[in-house]
Structure 1
Amino acid sequence: MIDATDRNPEKSGWRLDWPTSGGGRVASALLKSTPDDFFVDEDLPLPDDLAAGGEHLCIRLEKRGDNTDYVARQLATLSGCRHFDVGFCGLKDRHAVTRQWFSVYRPGQEDEDAAFLGEVAESWRVLEYHRQARKLRRGDHRGNYFELVLREVSGDPEAVDEALTRLRDLGCPNYFGPQRFGHNGANLDRALAMDPSKLNRRGSRNVKKRGRGRSTSGSDDSKNVLYFSAARSWLFNEVLAYRVQNGTWLAPLEGEPGTNDNQDVMVTGPLWGDGGTEAVSVQGEIERTVVAEHPELAAVFATTRMKPERRPLRMIPEAFEWQWQGSDQLLLKFRLAPGQYATTLLGDVFEITDATRDTGQD
């Protein structure tokens, strides 16, 4: 069994690999040998009244080798709108075949939609389209469907089947994926260097231009939010890792928010914010103790107005199935909720080598 509790082998100083549900990984495998080995289909509910139309043209595209932000910018250029007038539900991997919805703000241009869609189709396959009243936003989708092929699987097939059965029945720790933290944890280093007060959204709306007419908002604000998100995600992973190591990640502890009203409450962990955590008693003490071990990151939240939030500790894949294709190749199919990572799911069983690691990711 492969140990999964050590720090990142690249010695970044940040732990970027956390304990698995079974105490270790039972096999190794290669992922993304080709884009076809990583297929993702976004599940977005359609508006109740498609005939009502609206100012936003929604397009379902199939893309290969392009990341989400690149496609959004290209759609904005083709349509003649601003980049932030193009909406989407979440980032999808570049090194994959992905089907994803985008919304493009095109008020009063219904008669020109056919020509615009023709231009879009020159770069990507257009699967569906409709108009609606609002822009797509992060998390609007119901989830994502995955079909993944693992190659060069090395390990005892019976142990792999047993681990995948446990994964199907019990789920796995719902860690944020390492891509959120940047290469070698660079986004965490940047979180320590930023000014937390710039995350105060009320204040950022009133920021005036300085110097030679440049605004201090915009891309700088987006980067600060990215680094802030990386910091709170890493602290969540650390709390979850503590619960996994102590065998308490599947059941609520005293102090879990909502337990007084519903004994079947979902077990959650903290997304740190102003005031730290909403948990109290035993669970709150554990969360504050774990975060206190990282005072440099805890200090990032000292002056923000970001409200503490919660995230489930357990990820349970839906419609999870797998099939051996020869002795060293596996096909896996499953659905995940928004904000959950397929690589986290795989990493609970396999030591994964990403064939695209040296070429960059979404």
Structure 2
Amino acid sequence: MSEAEAGAKRWRLDWPVSGGERLARARLKTTPEDFRVSEVLEDFPEPSGTPGVTGEGEHLCLFIEKTGDNTEFLAGELAALAGCRPFDVGFCGLKDRHAVTSQWFSLYRPGMMDDDRALIGLISQRWRVKSAHRSVRKLRRGDHQGNRFVIRLRQVSADRQSVEPALERLKDQGAPNYFGPQRFGFAGGNLDRAVHIDPSMLNRRRGHGRHRGRGKLRSGRDDRKNVLYFSAARSWLFNEVLASRVAEGSWRLPLPGEPEDNATGPLWGDGGTCARGEAEQRERDIVAKTPELASLFLATRMKPERRPLVARPVGLEWQWLGAGVLELSFFLEPGQYATTILSDIFELEDMSLSQYEKQHG
């Protein structure tokens, strides 16, 4: 048995849906234009026409539309074009490369306002710049209010009479707020690696130690990978708790002992969970079933947190564009995943993955 097959048998990567079963199959991302995402950042005005630079501050913030490039790649290219360090480029969240996405980037350019138009012109040769704004601060993860989605599903296998009641239910009550399977790597590979992390390595202060040059860079890359694997373990434990609540139908209402008024689940940390009473005991019993992941949190200083169990697509609307073609539009808060929400109804076939395999197979 290969390592990938062993991981697939070891880690559950498909969790219960709210309706008991999915109603239909559908194809996702047949083309990048079938999946459109636009970041919402209330600090800046909505783009309109040819962008002129507004505002003041040391950071030039650009609202850029991209297709075929992931966020971190584009951030690196912007740093090169602007002549600044990669660290001086900020953004609010990661966006898929297999989509048409619009998101904000900030570039640290103190005292260089006179050159803004020239830089925008240079960037516009490769990507569409939809808006530009000066700001006093760098953009950081989670600064945005959320994302607007327009998603087109193709070859929907069920008819309107079957699908539309499920969409009405989704609009009314939301969907389980699972972390998406991509977080866990192919066949759960990130979880396999998490098991072998030394938790004490996550507590090292960055920038200290005797490493220099290439060794220091390698150490930094290792640290980032460890954080990725650790986050995957934390997310998987949350999904397991949520799955138990979905299976018994209690995922929309808080249990006695939950520290918030809404239904939430644990992002495990030092001490486990901040829930008490019935909620605490239930969460600890579920996490204890996977001791190799639970042990990661015994030596880390990560504070326990909570995450909502319900993801709500705000302003959900839909229209049928033809036989088997369904277009949906909605807004999601940061940390909620469009594909996870749609997977509560549809068995999705991500066509971008098939295309990637053909190109790299």
Please give the residue correspondences for 1:7-156 in structure 2 after superposition, counting only pairs within 5 Å.
11-46=8-43, 53-156=56-159
Q: How does 1:182-197 map to 2 (within 5 A)?
A: 182-197=185-200
Q: Partner of 1:214: helix, strand, or coil?
A: helix
Identity of aligned residues (%): 59
Q: CA deviation at 1:103?
A: 0.4
Q: How do 1:1-362 residues align onto structure 2 when only pairs under 5 Å count?
A: 11-46=8-43, 53-201=56-204, 203-209=205-211, 213-215=215-217, 217-258=219-260, 265-359=261-355
- CA gap of 1:213–1:241, structure 2 versus 1, over 3 A, is closer
Q: Deviations over 1:134-166 (max 9, x none)?
A: 110111111100000000000243121111110
Q: What is the Cα deviation at residue 13 of structure 1?
A: 2.0
Per-residue deviation, 1:208? 2.7
Which stretches in structure 2 are left out of the alignment for 5+ residues?
Answer: 46-52
Q: Which residue of 2 aligns with 1:5?
A: none
Checking the alignment, whether the CA contact within 8 Å between 2:7 and 2:188 is kept in structure 1 is no
Residue 21 of structure 2 aligns to a residue whose secondary structure is: coil
Q: Which residue number corresponds to residue 48 of structure 2?
A: none
The 1:26/1:9 distance shift into structure 2, 3 A limit, reads farther
CA contact (8 A) 2:34 2:153 kept: yes
- 2-structure distance, mates of 1:136, 1:164: 35
Verify the 8 A CA contact 2:25 2:348 in the aligned structure 1.
Answer: yes
Q: Contact 1:208–1:215 (CA<8 Å) still a contact in 2? A: no
Which residue identity lines up with residue 331 of structure 2 in the other structure? R
Deviations 1:19-53 (A, max 9, x none): 000011000000000011001111011259x9661
Whether the 8 Å CA contact 2:7–2:189 is kept in 1: the answer is: no
| Alpha-carbon distance in structure 1 between the residues aligned to 2:141 and 2:340 | 20
Contact map agreement 2:8 2:188 (CA 8 A) in 1: no
Deviations 1:177-225 (A, max 9, x none): 1111111111111111221111115x34433316975356422221111
CA RMSD of aligned residues (A): 2.0
Shift of 1:266: 1.5
The answer (yes or no) to whether the contact 2:39–2:103 under 8 Å persists in 1 is: yes
- Counterparts in 2 of 1:338 and 1:39: CA distance versus 1, 3 Å: same
Any stretches of 5+ residues in structure 1 without a counterpart? 1-7, 259-264
**Cα separation, partners in 2 of 1:122 and 1:22, compared to 1, 3 Å:** same
CA distance in 2, matches of 1:85, 1:359: 34
Are the counterparts in 1 of residues 7 and 192 from structure 2 also a CA contact under 8 Å?
Answer: no
- Structure 2 Cα separation of the partners of residues 131 and 286 of structure 1: 49
C-alpha spacing 1:155/1:51, structure 2 compared with 1 (3 Å): closer
- 1:207 and 1:217 in contact (8 A); partners too: no
Alignment partner of 1:296: what SS? Answer: helix
Asked if the contact 1:53–1:131 (Cα under 8 Å) also holds between the matched residues in 2, the reply is yes
> 2:79 touches 2:107 (CA, 8 Å); kept in 1?
yes
Cα gap change, 1:10 to 1:350, in 2 (>3 Å): farther
Structure 1 residue 325: Cα displacement: 1.7
1:211/1:115 Cα in 2 relative to 1: closer, same or farther (>3 Å)?
closer
- Name the one with the larger helix percent: 2
Q: Distance in 1 between matches of 2:174 and 2:158?
A: 21
TM-score (norm 1): 0.91
Give 3-state SS (helix, strand or coil) of 1:11's partner: helix
Q: TM-score, normalised by structure 2?
A: 0.91
3-state SS of 1:288 partner: helix
Corresponding residue pairs, total: 346
Query: Cα distance 1:252–1:109, how it changes in 2: closer, same or farther (>3 A)?
Result: same
Cα displacement string for residues 56-100 of structure 1 (whole angstroms, at most 9, x for unaligned residues): 110001111111111000001111111121111101111111111
The residue type paired with residue 36 of structure 1 is: E
Q: Whole-Å Cα distance in 2 between the matches of residues 81 and 118 of structure 1?
A: 17
